[in-house]
Amino acid sequence: MTGEQELKYTAEHEWVDADGDTATVGITAYAAARLGDIVYVELPGVGDEVTAGSVVGELESTKSVGELYAPVTGVVTEVNDEVASSPEVVNSDPFGAGWLLRVRITETPELLDHAAYQQLTGEA
């Protein structure tokens, strides 16, 4: 797993770890903290086509529901089944075991680097 400094980010609080033509996607610790205790995760299916910027799932917490946006365009190749049965792992390890999906990339829009994301969230 790439360190947080090397990841790319979206303004909607997703992180992207691109390795060749595959992107692993999750939500940031900032987003997980703002959502609160996550109790349910809805993800797209394997084989689904996703478009950068579109809603592809949701994360429900004890206090709100957050939408999951696709940070890249492509086809879902894998989803993290562990977060479906243990959604709290997204809160406890958002950059590791709490990853959400993997996408075979066909197009990558402009993404934020770590410094730009920190500036966006005011956590710089």
Query: Tens digit of pLDDT for each residue in 25-38?
Result: 999 999 999 999 99
48-101 per-position pLDDT tens digit = 999 999 999 999 999 899 999 999 999 999 999 999 899 999 999 999 999 999
pLDDT at 4: 85
Q: Could you state, in order of their start, the residue ranges of all structural domains in the chain?
A: 12-107
| Cα–Cα dist 44/56, whole Å | 6
By the 10 Å C-beta count (0-12 exposed, 13-18 middle, 19+ buried), 8 is classed as buried
pLDDT of residue 3: 79
Whether the Cβ atoms of residue 106 and residue 77 lie closer than 8 Å to each other: no
Considering only CA atoms, which of 2, 1, 69, 5 is closest in space to residue 31?
69
User: Residue 27's beta-bridge partner residues?
Assistant: 14
Is the domain covering 12-107 a CATH 2.40.50.100 domain? yes
Contacts of 65 (CB under 8 A, 6+ apart): 58, 59
Statement: residue 123 has pLDDT above 90: no
